[in-house]
Structure 1
């Protein structure tokens, strides 16, 4: 093995030489792939990663597609990878990557294949975009005589479509989520309810059916309908209307609500993924154990609109599109686990699991590795610590993981998997249900790469082998050599891996497009950053180049990864990376602080916790409550009141010595900004406050409503500066770090306590503080020295009481009720699931854009649509009265369709948006002139300020 410096992450990384053609082994050289000529047709971090891997493999003839939309519609969003690929003959321009409609998609497929043929490419790599699991695209590539670096078209058909994948899972004995896979077939049967009528339909439409289907009189009507539908897709015909499909879905949903009372239903377009094409309905029935007929019908009436939304999102609403939608029971308390698979069509191996439960809007946020080795290690550690409930929970996870890995490999072989794919599951305690297969590499694939490498061994010579540590490399090798590759052995690398998706979202995790990145700190040691090359500076000037976060794609900016000996180690490394990362720009919002707070929340609780897919929204609601309470506080006023309280106390203690009060006032004056600056940072950003509270939970207690320190508050203050990345740095802007005079005072205090700890042989603050309370000299100190030490102790800790306010904020918002139990289950207070509270806290985290009383403005930047789907009536027209909660418009931002509902009732006076559907709007842009039914009354600023001071005073009394 050789150690090199990876030019992309700027970090030392150990990897094997990927140029197999240079190996001294003839057998290894036979798998050289330098002659592979791939065309990369994806974008984002995976395109940059593929470019790096191909170059490391010795592949020189590769090219990329470049969407003209990037540089024309979204200036400054031009692919930063071009700083690396400077040969213009290997950059091929297309209007966009997939086309906006079915017709454009077919046109783009033909265009891509022709580009490959005209420019000498022999293969196509599609990364983890939607074209990577497009059966039609892959089949067209194969028919053109090209190789697809990914699963073949047969696997795409059997596993890529969600309905077919579920059928395959049932055939091979894998447990699946209860639901309906063939609602389109049922729709057709409803319309043509007999075998004769179905066959007559096929004949009338000129559809060609397999003779065996025509002869099989025992074939069920629904299976026959499926065969007819497949034939209609080939011919580009619709045999039912969307209205008929919606009606059938609504009927099926009603039946499922009755069969599974107290549950919600999930609708999933079969071609969806990555959060697209999925909706959940039935929230009103969650608490209804025996819903009546009226409640069921009211809950199901939402289904037709949601069907149109999911079909619109995956662009499956055209004539002849497969519009099948899965109708599944939504398993409420679940974790989202997935198994990494790799196969060559004959063998299939699993590469451990990943827990992807921390997600929102069906899009993953934080992913961690789950391997048999790491769980076994965690079990041993929990046993040694005597944590019996944790041991039992981890042992259950290990059993489930083994079953999932076995079933995943079995499924992969059943569908002839010949590349990388992911077997996705939902885990409910000691059970798991198969969910779907992603027939492509996943965004989070590096998490698995950090845990396992692949060892390919010569069957005739066990000492002759080569090791692959990149899944992209493995995919290229499979595309080039397929069944010649022997079944590999997986080799453990690091104990754990973790990945945070850095997204362009605001504090409430809503997409925030259009920002400009103007600066990004360089990666630190141990950080793996996949960012499409945004961090790469201009090779000519060495300057950082601006980058526009375009709204046409998903919200991901970068993938930040770390590894460690175990999960805690990887989480601590990730916390360090997130804390040291600095992003600056114009109109730029990211989830960096959310991740930092969340990772530290788990570090303070238990990193082996089992959060469900319903974790993030209640967590955000809790963070919103922290923010709401923090908004009521004024630290400057608090400090001034603190000074008055100290002056009064000193006057009472030393009535004959006015200099004592004056000296204390001078001490406090020196400490004002030392204490209040980090407090203001924490109170201003509730995500930072959440993480800080969690990791400091062990350092305090609340007794009779008052905060009591269990560790030295000065040490905690120093740690807080580190936590906030505000430690002293003479090269950093003063506004971003501790000020010089504050740092001198802080370091002087730390040295003082370090010397005392050494003198008394203890680092226990509770014990040390008890010693310092004694008037009689302790240890070897003289009476004079002891008086000076006690006075210094009082001076150093004076004013630090203010930090206790932060713990009281947590206490008053019920922050500690959201916790990880001994059995690793996460307890979420029930009130945090309240939709109204969630909506209100979202506005606290991100206040709506400023608007006039007679206007409705865009809630965010994106693409505006006035109707639910093409051909549908607009949501509102001029002169129309609307009610609170009524849909007003849809805004598509970063591939998600967001239906925006009215926050109040009123009348539409004028529609201001020009250009119609598909127009790009900016956050805060006026869309409608309205007359509200009720007038808005502005709150008097003086009233707000008075309330803040009253609230601050109440907190101050609890810490003094």
Structure 2
């Protein structure tokens, strides 16, 4: 049986990614969608699409029987799970095969063997694969496990055994932190994976996360497609990945590759999989300092970097193996070529601890795709980022003959990305790509944490950028020839003296910034800011709305995006937005007396009651959003006057959760 019509049991960029390869292979595609995704990009790309339920994943993308019925209705012969959702659910695999359909992925037995971290580690030990020191048994009594953690030695990692993507994972530095971290990891494991069981591992002081892409077929063959370094992480979630790993030696690559293939063969693995290792990089890379962490029995988010450095299409290989064919190569046939990076562009607020964000993508401009620049996305301009699903906007992937050139292309591609309507991590990614330690290849999983303040610090717009924003606000559209001059339609023309207009911008703190723009008789512009003046020799607007300015003999360009009363200026790798001041706008600020929901979510835990006296920094409410728990703490010392929510409540972003009594005096 061969695949002629493929249903993709997923959404977003991975669904679009699978469809592109299926189309290249002449395979028809079927999308599934929830009510929230009715107008999504993956639905528009597919040949057919089937509604599977309301927005919550438990009522749509996690309903295996509904997805299988969608395959039956459309005549699909195979189901590709993508990643996440049902991709590592062995019961779903068995149901797909029982329905007479092909599952594009490994067997249910292989998924079960690797699905629970404790059992997987025991299996790897038997197979001769090195395993990190820790406890992987069934004991779940907090006191007993705290004693075990003490024997292992702090710091330790608590991990939900069914977890992934950093969910259900807590780093514990001291004994007195253990019980709270353990309870939180168990809750997140239960909520995200339906399994609260946790294991404990020794925390490596300078760890690197290096994983091996493996591939097997149904004829007993298995190979590795070299390594990826995924050490740049925040909150245990990958941020920028690359292949190959910087500083990798041939000796260590061979040892890790052999261990990864042993792991795959131990479970008769078929299809694409990833064997993840933690590496002690405190003294360089050595073949006796890596340990098995887990195996992901699916395609990985970061698979494009492997595709770049091997020249292979991993989705095409998945389909080939699912069709029962042998891998078309052996290990010695594979070669590494060049270097590749992938940056995960998310709707999230890096300045606020990487909190997920929502919003409409009013503007969505990516760098042009070339042979060396690839954009994998599942959204378009005008789409919405909702609280229902992962807030990924796109993966920006670049390739070069060497690491330096690939990184330079990544930085440029990030700088050319412009998004308005939602907060994103673009500036953070750009700054990270420019970090000197990262540029030198000196990476470990703690790099972002150590530098988080400087990587996420707000960069204030300089005087020239503010001046350009004022010019842009006064500039009419670029539809006519007169639009090249911001003062062409100026109504308050003055017979004597320069024409002058005032622009008021919000300063983000409840105040305003006044900027005066004058056009002199010689055509130059004189811009007066509260703390500076800027003179432009010439300003012109292109057909695309971009401003070209000449100042002191230098020419520069700024991309301008208008969205309602907001102007976004992008120049020199920096993007800043300015909102025209509306004096009639109502102020809604709870100040330091209230606790505000930073995002839409579910109130998972309430740790206080009305009348309680609390200290600044104490965790009062645990909010679950986008499958992660977020602890909300008291903004100051005080007494809770009113509690507005209870456990199980769904709240919107900006909702007032509790109010403190006013401070005395």
- For Structure 1 versus Structure 2, the TM-score category normalised by the shorter chain is 0.7 to 0.9
Q: Are 2:610 and 1:878 equivalent residues in the alignment?
A: yes
| Alignment CA distance shift 1:86-1:452 (3 Å) | closer
In 2, the alpha carbon distance for the partners of 1:555 and 1:919 equals 18
Q: Which residue of 2 aligns with 1:607?
A: 439
Alignment check: 8 A CA contact 1:478 1:485 kept: no
1:740-759 aligned at under 5 Å gives the runs: 741-742=550-551, 745-746=553-554
**CA positional deviation for 1:606:** 6.3
In 2, the alpha carbon distance for the partners of 1:412 and 1:561 equals 27
Q: Are 2:33 and 1:66 equivalent residues in the alignment?
A: yes
Alignment check: 8 A CA contact 1:862 1:893 kept: yes
1:257 to 142, 150, 153: 150
Q: Which residue of 2 aligns with 1:423?
A: 275
Q: Deviations over 1:92-136 (max 9, x none)?
A: 333357417xxx998x22222232233322221111113111122
Q: Are 2:234 and 1:360 equivalent residues in the alignment?
A: yes
**CA positional deviation for 1:434:** 0.8
Q: Normalised by the size of structure 1, how large is the TM-score?
A: 0.54
Q: Are 2:167 and 1:276 equivalent residues in the alignment?
A: yes
**CA positional deviation for 1:747:** 5.7
Q: Are 2:355 and 1:527 equivalent residues in the alignment?
A: no
In 2, the alpha carbon distance for the partners of 1:934 and 1:122 equals 70
Alignment check: 8 A CA contact 1:270 1:324 kept: yes
2:199 to 326, 329, 336: 326
**CA positional deviation for 1:850:** 4.2
Q: Deviations over 1:890-947 (max 9, x none)?
A: 222222111212232222222234x86241311x322212215666xxxxxxxxxxxx
Alignment check: 8 A CA contact 1:876 1:888 kept: yes
Alignment check: 8 A CA contact 1:513 1:894 kept: no
| Alignment CA distance shift 1:528-1:484 (3 Å) | closer
Alignment check: 8 A CA contact 2:339 2:399 kept: yes
Q: Are 2:603 and 1:865 equivalent residues in the alignment?
A: yes
| Alignment CA distance shift 1:414-1:608 (3 Å) | farther
In 2, the alpha carbon distance for the partners of 1:598 and 1:916 equals 37
In 2, the alpha carbon distance for the partners of 1:118 and 1:255 equals 53
User: Larger relative CO (CA 8 A, sep 6+): 1 or 2?
Assistant: 1
Alignment check: 8 A CA contact 1:150 1:420 kept: yes
Provide the aligned C-alpha RMSD in A: 3.0
Gapped runs of 5+ residues in structure 1? 1-31, 72-77, 187-244, 286-295, 317-321, 376-393, 454-468, 536-544, 637-679, 681-726, 749-848, 868-873, 936-960
1:917 to 645, 648, 656: 648
| Alignment CA distance shift 1:488-1:144 (3 Å) | farther
| Alignment CA distance shift 1:490-1:898 (3 Å) | farther
The structure with the largest alpha-carbon Rg is 1
In 1, the alpha carbon distance for the partners of 2:61 and 2:389 equals 16
Alignment check: 8 A CA contact 2:339 2:403 kept: yes
Secondary structure of 2:407's aligned partner: helix
Secondary structure of 1:131's aligned partner: coil
Q: Deviations over 1:204-233 (max 9, x none)?
A: xxxxxxxxxxxxxxxxxxxxxxxxxxxxxx
**CA positional deviation for 1:481:** 1.7
Q: Which protein has the bigger helix share?
A: 1
Secondary structure of 2:356's aligned partner: coil
Q: Deviations over 1:313-364 (max 9, x none)?
A: 4242xxxxx5431211121310111100110141111111111111101111
In 2, the alpha carbon distance for the partners of 1:496 and 1:174 equals 28
Q: Normalised by the size of structure 2, how large is the TM-score?
A: 0.77
Q: Which residue of 2 aligns with 1:160?
A: 115
Alignment check: 8 A CA contact 2:622 2:632 kept: yes
1:20-419 aligned at under 5 Å gives the runs: 33=2, 35-60=3-28, 62-70=29-37, 78-85=39-46, 87=48, 90-96=49-55, 98-99=57-58, 108-182=63-137, 184=138, 186=139, 245=140, 248-260=141-153, 263-282=154-173, 285=174, 296=175, 298-316=176-194, 322-345=195-218, 346-370=220-244, 394=247, 397-419=249-271
Alignment check: 8 A CA contact 2:595 2:635 kept: no
**CA positional deviation for 1:857:** 1.5
Q: Are 2:289 and 1:478 equivalent residues in the alignment?
A: no
| Alignment CA distance shift 1:474-1:64 (3 Å) | same
**CA positional deviation for 1:164:** 2.0
Q: Are 2:293 and 1:435 equivalent residues in the alignment?
A: yes
In 2, the alpha carbon distance for the partners of 1:420 and 1:411 equals 13
Q: Are 2:658 and 1:928 equivalent residues in the alignment?
A: yes
2:305 to 439, 447, 450: 447
| Alignment CA distance shift 1:910-1:475 (3 Å) | same
Q: Deviations over 1:791-847 (max 9, x none)?
A: xxxxxxxxxxxxxxxxxxxxxxxxxxxxxxxxxxxxxxxxxxxxxxxxxxxxxxxxx
Q: Which residue of 1 aligns with 2:450?
A: 618
Alignment check: 8 A CA contact 2:186 2:196 kept: no
Alignment check: 8 A CA contact 2:186 2:197 kept: no
Q: Which residue of 1 aligns with 2:513?
A: none
Alignment check: 8 A CA contact 1:66 1:92 kept: yes
Gapped runs of 5+ residues in structure 2? 465-506, 508-537, 557-587
In 2, the alpha carbon distance for the partners of 1:324 and 1:932 equals 43
**CA positional deviation for 1:148:** 1.0
**CA positional deviation for 1:559:** 0.2
In 1, the alpha carbon distance for the partners of 2:604 and 2:136 equals 31
Count matched residues.
553
Q: Which protein has the bigger strand share?
A: 2
